């Protein structure tokens, strides 16, 4: 058994409460902590912005990708698109689909999470039929057969929990019904639309295992269930159904917005909410060291209030090992309390293991992103 050494101390001029009521001579706070936002932590108060670098040499730097430029040609299978950010426990890809999938697919490597960035479709799977739309998260358990029939062009973010499964986070003091009630989770139905696709015609299934695809042929459509019972199923929640935790006196850490949990990473969702109104409360994300987790943000909609010049479909990647936080204009706007509400929607992926960048992602990188924290004269 292990236990963190715990000895809360104070040195110098400090605030009594993290993220609020800073010392007069220091408007910048930096949090350094372990195990994401769950382990021991220290808060420093600085005279200068912790992101005030003037030059950066070497590979450890923040990255900005434009995933809108990837895969503009339609791919009929999710196994035909490249890994963009990945490690042994997690694979992130994007997929554009415009036509009905001609084959069923099955991921034998792990659970699949689909986030519908654009478009809508009819989903058919082992468990039945479901209509999906933009903003939907769809958790597909490992080895489930499924296919999509788009009703309009689709842009989908896929996050694979490699050799793992998706679960819901523990919600602690706020209770099981906070953020979203489990009753909000939708599951497929064996309805008339599902029964209408029963067929005695030839169908094929593309099965991905160890990153390799096998094709299994049936003389009928294997999506032919007439019923099912149990506590494992495809499940869907839309970001519009998420009611974020809020505090008008304290800026909550990203962990308060966790949506799904795997063993080595978490998926969080930032949705519109009121900005903290207490005069002493920090009103933008605090500067922090990402010492144990790589951090990825996929921007879905709105104006992300801590970033400049970010559009939907873009992705930021902050590897573990340096301090990051809001851009200068966003930080100043927070000090002046210019905005009273956020209107952003973003998907955050935090991984305990270092992510690699695929060639397709690197081809869309903006190399000037590392300079975007510089204060312009």
Give the catalytic positions in this structure.
251
229 is in an annotated binding site: no
Nearest CA among 256, 253, 257 for reference residue 239: 257
Q: Is 12 left (phi over 0), alpha (psi -120 to 50) or beta?
A: left
Tell which residue, 72, 67, 12, 62, has the closest CA to residue 42: 12
Q: If you ran DSSP here, which 8-state letter would residue 189 be given?
A: B
Which helix (DSSP H) or strand (DSSP E) does residue 142 occupy? none
Q: How far apart are CA 21 and CA 88, in angstroms?
A: 42
Nearest 5°: the CA angle 350, 166, 163 is: 90
Closest to 295 measured CA to CA, from 316, 271, 264: 316
Whose CA is closest to 344, among 245, 269, 276?
269
Paired residues of 255 in beta bridges: none
Ligand-binding site membership of 324 (annotated): yes
Q: What is the DSSP string of 251-285?
A: ---GGGGEEEE-SSEEEEEE--EEPP-STTB--SP
Helix (H, G, I), strand (E, B), or coil: what is residue 80? helix
Exposure letters 346-375 (e unless 16+ CB within 10 A, then b):
bbbbbbbeebebbebbeebeeeebeebbee
288 annotated to bind ligand: yes
Burial of 99 (0-12, 13-18, 19+ CB in 10 A): exposed
Contact 198, 217 (CB under 8 A): no
User: Binding site: what residues are annotated?
Assistant: 288, 294, 324
User: Binding site for Fe cation: what residues are annotated?
Assistant: 288, 294, 324
């Amino acid at each position: 058994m292990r236990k963190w050494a715990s000895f809360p101390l104070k040195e110098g001029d400090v605030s009594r409460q993290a993220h609020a009521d800073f010392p007069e001579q220091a408007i910048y706070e930096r949090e350094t902590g372990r195990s994401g936002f769950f382990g021991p932590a220290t808060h420093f108060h600085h005279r200068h912005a912790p992101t005030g670098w003037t030059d950066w040499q070497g590979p450890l730097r923040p990255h900005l990708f434009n995933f809108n430029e990837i895969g503009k040609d339609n791919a009929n299978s999710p196994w035909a698109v490249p890994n963009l950010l990945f490690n042994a426990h997690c694979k992130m890809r994007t997929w554009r689909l415009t036509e009905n999938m001609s084959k069923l697919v099955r991921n034998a490597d792990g659970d699949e999470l689909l986030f519908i960035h654009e478009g809508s479709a009819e989903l058919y799977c082992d468990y039945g039929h479901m209509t999906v739309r933009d903003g939907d998260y769809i958790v597909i358990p490992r080895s489930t057969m499924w296919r999509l029939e788009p009703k309009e062009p689709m842009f989908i973010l896929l996050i694979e929990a490699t050799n793992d499964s998706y679960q819901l986070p523990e919600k602690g003091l706020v209770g099981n019904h906070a953020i979203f009630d489990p009753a909000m989770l939708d599951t497929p139905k064996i309805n008339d639309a599902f029964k209408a696709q029963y067929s005695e015609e030839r169908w094929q299934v593309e099965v991905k295992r160890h990153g390799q695809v096998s094709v299994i042929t049936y003389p009928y459509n294997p999506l032919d269930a007439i019923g099912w019972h149990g506590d494992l199923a495809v499940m869907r929640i839309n970001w519009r159904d998420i009611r974020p935790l809020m505090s008008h006196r304290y800026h909550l850490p990203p962990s308060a917005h966790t949506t799904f949990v795997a063993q080595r990473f978490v998926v969080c969702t930032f949705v519109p909410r009121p900005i903290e109104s207490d005069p002493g409360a920090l009103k933008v994300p605090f500067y922090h060291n990402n010492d144990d987790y790589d951090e990825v943000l996929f921007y879905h909609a709105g104006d992300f209030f801590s970033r400049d010049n970010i559009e939907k479909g873009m992705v930021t990647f902050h590897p573990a090992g340096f301090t990051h936080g809001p851009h200068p204009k966003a930080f100043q706007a927070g000090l002046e309390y210019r905005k009273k509400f956020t209107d952003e929607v973003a998907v955050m992926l935090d991984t305990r293991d270092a992510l690699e960048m695929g060639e397709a992602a690197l081809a869309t990188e903006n190399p000037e992103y590392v300079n975007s924290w510089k204060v312009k004269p």
